[in-house]
Amino acid sequence: MTGTNRRRFGFSLVGLAGTSCVLIASCSPPTNSVQGPRAGGSITVATQEQDSLLACNITSTEAHACAYVNPVMEGLLTVKASQDVPQHDTKLSDYWVPELATEVPTLENGDVRVNNNKMDVTWKLRPGVKWQDGAAFSSADVKATFDFWWLKYRNLNPTPLVTTSGWDQVASVETPNTNTAIVHFKAVFAPYLTLGTGPYGILPNHILQQIWSQTGDITHDKVSVNIPGGFKGTDTLDKLMVGTGPFMFKEWVPHDHITLVRNPHWWGSHQAYLDQIKIKFEADANQELDDLSGGNIDMGLDMRASLLPRLSRLSDVGTAVIVGSSAEHIDINLHNTFLQDPILRKAILLGIDRQRIVDTLLLGKTNVPPDAWMCVGTGSWCLDPNARRTQYNPDAARTLLDSAGYKVQDSGPCKGYRTDSHGRCVQIHLATSTLPLREQEGIDITADLALIGIQVIKPFNEAPTNRLFGPCTSGGILYSHNFDLALYTNYYSYPAEPDSLAYASYHSSQIPTEGNGCVGQNTTWVTDAGLDKDLDQARLSVKLADRKDKYILAQRALADILPEIPLYQGVDVEAFSKRLLGYKGNEFWWMNNSAEWYLGATS
C-alpha cells in the first residue's frame, strides 16, 4: 500500500454523479440547490455488527467497526479517496488528507526532523475545533492519546489493546501551544504517519481523564457524556463515541442499528449534507443485496465480488470495486505437530488451486498474490521484483510428501489420507468465520488437500467474528493460537504502509500471549531472527529506497518460512443506491467522505 501507481487498484466506479459538485463554504447547514448538493434527508447503510466500537483498531482490527466509527471519530489525518490519489510519482503523503492537523508532516515541509538516530514530528493542529460535547480540541488531546497508547502505562495498559506497535517508539510528546504537538521518537520511525491518524486517531483528553480516575480500562470504566442533539448518558467507550467528525453518535440498539446525526458544529467548510445515517446490522452480504434491491437500504458495505452479476442487473444501484492492500489467506499455526514441518506447508501451497478460486468464486476480479504478499495494493512500491509465485501443482505436492515419508493409507482409520513417520493421521482443523464465500472456499480447500492426502476438519463450524478475532484473554481463536489453519482476510491498517501489517503479523515480539496482555497480531508463532532484523531496519529510514531493500529481504524470508498461504488479493465491493450522490470509494474505513454525501432530487 504505498505511493507508486494507483492503477494497481483496479478501481472502477459506476453511478457516482455529483462528485464534482460545488461545496458551500459556511458553518451553517447547506441549502438545497438544483445544481449542487442538497441538504437534508436520511440514509441507511447496512453492515455487520461488532461487539465493540473499539474493535476499530483499538481492541481489535475489524473493518466493519471502522466504517461506522469513521464519520464520528477523526484523526490527525484521514485517507484520500482512491480515485483522488495521483497516478504518477506518488509519495506516501499523497494518500493522506489533513483532518485535525492542517498539513501532512514530511521531511520536505520541515515538520519531520531527523537528527542522527532520533526523530521529531511536528503536528500543526486545526484551530477552533470542538468535541461534540462542546469541549475544545487542542494539543492536550494529542498528548493524551499518545499517553493512552503507551506513555502512561507502557506495556501494562489496563485496556486490552490489540497492539502497541509503533506507539512504543515514542519517547515523549511536547505541547508548546494549543495548536502544536511535537512527537519525539526514541529512534527514526518511518511509519510515523500511522500514529494518531484515521478513525479513533485522536481520543478526547477530558473523556480519558474520567477513565484514568478509575481503573484505566476504557472497555470497563463508564463515562458520563452529554452531546447536544446526540447521546446523553453513561456507558463504557466501547458502546458510545464522542468525536469531532461531521456526524455525532446518537444511539446503539444492539443487534439492530446505530444512529448517527449531523454535527452542527463541525469544523469543515460546510456541515454534512445528510441529517442522519442509520447503520443497520445485517447477517451477510446476501441480505444486504436483498435489501438494496428492495430499496430498504441505500448502501451495502463489504459486498462480495461473487455478487457483481446480480448487482449489475440493478439499474438503480452503483458499485465501487477496489482490488486492495489485503489478502484472503490461511494462517498456519507453526506450533502444530504437523504444520511445523516446512515440507507439509509447501505441499499445502502447491496443492490448493488458488486461481480456480479467483476465477469461480471471485469471477476473475482479482489475482493470486506472491507467496509473501506484504507488498501488494498501495504497498506495491516495496514488492520484490523477483517475488516467488508458486503455481498449483498437486503432482509436485504428492511427490514432496511421498519423499518426506508421509504415506497414503489404503486401510484403517486413515484410509485415503496420509500418516506421518509415527503412524499418526495427518488431520488438520480449519477455522474461519460465518461468511457464505468462506464456506465455499473451505469446501474447495478441503477437496484440494484431500487430493494430495491431507484431511481437513472444521471444528468451529464457521465461528462468529467476535470468537475468531477476540483477544486471547477471552479465548479468541486466532490470538489464543487455538487453530491449525485459519481462513480470513488480513489487510493494511493504513495506506501505503507495509509496517502496519508486517511488523504486527510477523515480528516475534508481536506474538500475543496472556503474559503480554494479548498484545500483537503474530498469530502463527513465526519466529525468525533474520526476519525480525529486516522488519526492524525497515523502520529506521524515512527514505523509501532504503526501506524497500529491507522489505525485499523480509519477503524472501517469509516465502521460505511460509507462515501463511495467500489465496487472493482482497477485493472491496461497495454498492449504493444511485439516489445517494457524492460517495467516493476507498478500501480504508469505507465511510470516509460522509460529509459530502447527499440525496439526489426525486422525480
Q: What is the distance, to the nearest Å, from the Cα of residue 511 to the centroid of all Cα atoms in its chain?
A: 19
Q: Give the separation between CA 208 and CA 202, rounded to whole angstroms.
A: 11
pLDDT of residue 64: 85
Q: Give the separation between CA 300 and CA 319, rounded to whole angstroms.
A: 10
Q: Backbone phi, then psi, for 255, in 5-degree steps? A: 65, 15
Question: Is 300:291 a contact under the CB 8 Å cutoff?
Answer: yes
Q: Give the separation between CA 258 and CA 253, rounded to whole angstroms.
A: 6
pLDDT of residue 28: 39
SS (H, E, C) 266-310: CCCCCCCCCCEEEEEECCCHHHHHHHHHCCCCCEEEEECHHHHHH
Q: Give the separation between CA 225 and CA 375, rounded to whole angstroms.
A: 42
Please report the domains of the chain, with CATH numbers, ordered by start residue: 324-571 (3.10.105.10)
pLDDT of residue 472: 78
Q: Low-confidence residues of the chain, pLDDT below 70?
A: 1-35, 459-461, 602-603
> What CA dihedral angle connects 498, 499, 505 and 506, to 10 degrees?
100
Q: Give the separation between CA 69 and CA 243, rounded to whole angstroms.
A: 9
What is the DSSP secondary structure assignment for residue 246, as one 8-state letter?
S
Rounded to 5°, the CA angle 600-601-603 comes to 130
pLDDT of residue 178: 98
Q: Give the separation between CA 386 and CA 456, rounded to whole angstroms.
A: 32
Sole residue written with cell 506474538: 511
Q: Which long-range contacts (CB under 8 A, 24 or more apart) does 27-32 make?
A: 27/265, 27/266, 27/270, 27/271, 28/271, 29/262, 29/264, 29/271, 30/270, 30/271, 30/273
Other Cβ atoms within 10 Å of 242 Cβ, number? 23
pLDDT of residue 24: 25
pLDDT of residue 35: 64
pLDDT of residue 49: 81
Cell digits for 351?
496443492
Question: Is 264:271 a contact under the CB 8 Å cutoff?
Answer: yes
> What CA dihedral angle connects 264, 266, 271 and 275, to 10 degrees?
-50
